[in-house]
Amino acid sequence: MKTNTKRILFGAAVVAVAALGGVFTSFGTDWYALLVKPSEWPPKFIFPLVWSAIYILSFVTLFLLAERGMPKSTVALFAVNGILNVIWCLTFFTLHQIFLSEAIIIMNLIAGILLVADLKKRGDTYFYLMLVYPMWLSLATALNTAVWILN
């Protein structure tokens, strides 16, 4: 497959994950506002900023790696992370299943760590671009756990 075709497909995939996650999140905003949250909860504006940065960094990483060629395992790890992200948004915000979303976000955190480890193992310096992802997922997992305990 040509590099430009890969880039278009990767870009479309990142946009699809962001859009689906946004749709599922929007279904639960009223419910989310009623949840008891810990006092250490980040300000509301932080979440879309961080997720936008993660989606942009994911696209940039995929864009740069498309030219070099990626093993199917790396593409699969990106796909698994995107799918888990969408499923978490669906489970937490739309279905209001806090415990199930806890299990999903833990799997997402593990997949995020595996993605960064895969990029580093291959010697791609682009793994630095993706470091924010498992770091954010670590915080998000702690927040999800707190919501589960408090509600």
- Alpha-carbon gap, residue 38 to 129, rounded angstroms: 30
* Token digits of residue 44: 């509301």
Q: Does residue 1 register a pLDDT over 80?
A: no
CA distances from 92 to 9, 86, 97, 130 (A): 28, 10, 5, 24
Q: How far is CA 125 from CA 53, 93, 116, 122, 139, in A?
A: 18, 35, 10, 9, 24
> What CATH architecture is 3-150?
Up-down Bundle (1.20)
Token output for 124: 């791609």
70-112 tens-digit pLDDT: 888 999 999 999 999 999 999 999 999 999 999 999 999 999 9
For the stretch 79-82, contacts whose Cβ atoms lie closer than 8 Å and that sit 24 or more positions apart, written own/partner, are: 79/13, 80/111, 81/108, 81/111, 81/112, 81/115, 81/133, 82/13, 82/14, 82/16, 82/17
What are the domain boundaries of the chain? 3-150
Provide the 3-class DSSP secondary structure of residue 147. helix
In terms of pTM, does the model score above 0.85?
A: yes
Each residue's pLDDT tens digit, 115-144:
999 999 987 788 899 999 999 999 999 999
